[in-house]
Amino acid sequence: MTRPLAHPDESPSIVLSYEHAASVVRRQATRAREEALRRRTVDKVALGDALGRVLAETVVADRDQPPFPRSTRDGFACRSEDLQEGGLRVVGQLRAGEPWTLGAIRPGEAVEIMTGATVPHGADCVVMIEHVSASDGWVNLTGAREIAAGENIVPAGAEARAGDVVVPAGQRVGIAEIAAAAACGAAHMAAFGRPRAAILATGDELVDVAEKPLAHQIRNSNSYSLAAQVRAAGGEPVAFPVVRDDPDATEKAIREAQSCDLILLTGGVSMGKYDFVEQALLRLGAEFYFTGARIQPGKPVVFGRLENLHFFGLPGNPISTMVTFALFAVPMLRALGGESEDRPRFTMARLEEEVRVKAGLTRFLPATVESSFRGAHVKRIAWQGSGDLAAAAKANGFLVVPETSEHLAVGEIVTVLEI
Ligand code: AMP
Ligand code: MG
């Protein structure tokens, strides 16, 4: 049922610090995840297509890993206690992929063995080829070396026992998960269906990228950047037509978007006369968790719930949209996708040039980060504010200035948001 058009004063004003707002989103994301899991859809995904998907079922070891005691070196398998006694007689050779058929190794014997081969019964160590001299069917330890039992052997089942969970449900499939699943014989995996995120860009000035804008018009870039961000966070973007700055049109579009799993609106959340997003949501009976955050860019960001769906009203300036999505919508979308952990999105880097700002807002400033094995360095990029997409395109991260800081000194270790 539609309530009468809300007077602007009726809109609640809940403005939180970044950290407070982030914790509110996290709490709601946990709730949304539980609800999403109850009505989950599951896709059967081929291993080769599983990267980035979230597992709906555990991947279980179908046999011990390793399945046999595995040599981790090229060398000689033998009994460690025999090594100080003098030469050992070489009784055979074993390659990876070859079964050992000659029975247990006896005292005084050694088998030449390659990395990845099955260590024969009776042997309790593998001496590296670099640590022996071998000739005429005999092998001797060189130098004063102690070789302990177990050296260079991974016992059968040491990595996982048959039936052990190797990758838990709720984990996003990355490179290591692909390898682990392949090792378990999982040619297909059960993955949660991708959450569908409705994208509603609002603004009378907007035209599509394919159209030629008039002098006073702006190309709609947010629908495209948001779709890309939704995909990167594991969701499926559902692009709606641009919504005109009109309360009824906004309300109608939001109602249509309720068929998705999450609603993303951009623009129309500021204090202007033609910003109708909050009013439309209010008329539809939405509950607001916050209507602003002490951040720059993105201060007017809105988060709430409409019936059984969460929504974000993201400020329309393109960098504000991008940053607020990364800060708040990413954890929600990942949770809706069934992912059990909020993945780290912040890294640390050493500041190359000092930064001075006014305190009172947590700032996310476009920056370039360079990294090597010694660590990362970050430098901010000059920008014209939150509409400056050219600056964003030069950046590969956003330098974080905490709410209470006015000055970050050269050499300080600072936080960087990855987008
Ligand atoms: P708003 O948040 O609606 O007040 O918009 C703030 C600024 O962002 C205005 O300059 C808009 O033209 C611009 N803007 C809003 N929506 C978009 C969009 N979808 N794509 C590009 N720019 C936008
Ligand atoms: Mg607008």
- Whichever domain contains 15, its CATH number is 3.40.980.10
pLDDT at 12: 76
- Whether the upstream peptide bond of residue 297 has omega within 30° of 0, thus cis, is yes
Ligand 1 site-directed mutation target among 218, 324, 389, most atoms within 8 Å of CB:
218
pLDDT at 10: 61
Closest ligand relative to 241 C-alpha: 1
Q: Are residues 252 and 307 in the same domain?
A: yes
Q: Are 209 and 224 in contact (CB under 8 A)?
A: yes
Closest ligand relative to 298 C-alpha: 1
d(C-alpha 239, C-alpha 142), whole Å = 70
Q: Are residues 138 and 208 in the same domain?
A: no
Asked if the structure places residue 215 within a domain, the reply is yes
Q: Are residues 273 and 395 in the same domain?
A: no
User: What are 111's two structure tokens?
Assistant: 């088998």
The shares of helix, strand and coil residues in the chain, as percent rounded to the nearest 5, are 25, 30, 45
Q: Are residues 407 and 359 in the same domain?
A: yes
Which atom of ligand 1 is nearest the CA belonging to 205?
12
Q: Give 182 Cα–ligand 1 centroid separation in angstroms.
A: 46
Query: If 0-12 CB within 10 Å is exposed, 13-18 middle and 19+ buried, where does residue 404 land?
Result: exposed
pTM: 0.92
d(C-alpha 348, C-alpha 321), whole Å = 23
Q: Give 270 Cα–ligand 1 centroid separation in angstroms.
A: 10
d(C-alpha 304, C-alpha 289), whole Å = 5
Domain boundary at 297, 315, 336, which?
336
Q: Are residues 259 and 272 in the same domain?
A: yes
- Whichever domain contains 186, its CATH number is 3.90.105.10
Number of domains in the chain: 4
Q: Are residues 320 and 404 in the same domain?
A: no
- Whichever domain contains 150, its CATH number is 2.170.190.11
Which atom of ligand 1 is nearest the CA belonging to 220?
20
Asked if the structure places residue 1 within a domain, the reply is no
Q: Are residues 408 and 278 in the same domain?
A: no
pLDDT at 24: 98
For ligand 1, atom 9, which residue shows the shortest CA distance? Answer: 317
Q: Give 308 Cα–ligand 1 centroid separation in angstroms.
A: 28
Q: Give 318 Cα–ligand 1 centroid separation in angstroms.
A: 7
pLDDT at 82: 94
Closest ligand relative to 316 C-alpha: 1
Structural domain for 387, as ranges = 346-418
Q: Are residues 146 and 244 in the same domain?
A: no
Strand partners, 413: 350
Which atom of ligand 1 is nearest the CA belonging to 242?
19
Long-range contacts, 21-28 (Cβ 8 Å, 24+): 21/290, 21/293, 21/295, 21/301, 21/303, 21/328, 22/327, 22/328, 22/331, 24/289, 24/290, 24/303, 25/289, 25/303, 25/328, 25/331, 25/332, 26/331, 26/342, 28/289, 28/303, 28/305, 28/310, 28/332
Q: Are residues 249 and 318 in the same domain?
A: yes
Q: Give 275 Cα–ligand 2 centroid separation in angstroms.
A: 6
Q: Are residues 332 and 216 in the same domain?
A: yes
Q: Are residues 368 and 261 in the same domain?
A: no
User: What are 155's two structure tokens?
Assistant: 């016992």
For ligand 1, atom 14, which residue shows the shortest CA distance? Answer: 316
Ligand 1 pocket by Cβ (under 6 Å): 201, 203, 205-206, 218, 220-223, 266-268, 270, 272, 315-318, 387
The segments of the chain whose pLDDT lies below 50 read: 1-6
Which atom of ligand 1 is nearest the CA belonging to 266?
16
For ligand 1, atom 20, which residue shows the shortest CA distance? Answer: 220
pLDDT at 3: 47
For ligand 1, atom 3, which residue shows the shortest CA distance? Answer: 267
pLDDT at 233: 95
SS3 call for 289: strand
Helix/strand/coil (H/E/C) assignment for every residue in 65-134: ECCCCEECCCEEEECHHHHHHCCEEEEEEECCCCCCCCCCCCCCEEEEECCCCECCCCCCEEEEHHHEEE
d(C-alpha 325, C-alpha 314), whole Å = 7
